[in-house]
Chains A and B, each alone.
Chain A
Amino acid sequence: SQQGEEDPQALSIQEGENATMNCSYKTSINNLQWYRQNSGRGLVHLILIRSNEREKHSGRLRVTLDTSKKSSSLLITASRAADTASYFCATALSSGSRLTFGEGTQLTVNP
Chain B
Amino acid sequence: DVKVTQSSRYLVKRTGEKVFLECVQDMDHENMFWYRQDPGLGLRLIYFSYDVKMKEKGDIPEGYSVSREKKERFSLILESASTNQTSMYLCASSPLRSETQYFGPGTRLLVL
**Residue positions of A touching B, CB distance < 8 A:** 2, 30-31, 33, 35, 40-45, 48, 88, 92, 95-104
Q: Does B54 contact A (CB under 8 A)?
A: no
- Asked if A41 meets B105 with Cβ closer than 8 Å, knowing A98-B48, A101-B43, the reply is yes
Closest residue of B by beta carbon distance from A31: B99
Q: How far is the CA of A99 from the CA of B44 in the complex (A)?
A: 10
State whether A88 touches B99 (Cβ < 8 A): no
Q: How far is the CA of A102 from the CA of B42 in the complex (A)?
A: 6
Q: What is the number of residues of chain B that contact chain A, defined by CB distance less than 8 Å?
A: 25
- Asked if A48 meets B100 with Cβ closer than 8 Å, knowing A42-B106, A103-B40, the reply is yes
Choose among A43, A99, A101, A103 the residue that contacts B99 (Cβ–Cβ < 8 A): A99
State whether A88 touches B97 (Cβ < 8 A): no
Q: Which residues of B contact A45 (CB under 8 A)?
A: 100-102
Choose among A88, A98, A104 the residue that contacts B33 (Cβ–Cβ < 8 A): A98
State whether B105 touches A33 (Cβ < 8 A): no
Q: A33-B100, A45-B100, A96-B96 are in contact. List 18 more A-B contacts (CB 8 A).
A: A30-B99, A33-B99, A35-B103, A40-B106, A41-B105, A42-B4, A42-B105, A42-B106, A43-B43, A45-B101, A48-B99, A92-B99, A95-B97, A96-B99, A99-B45, A102-B42, A103-B40, A104-B42
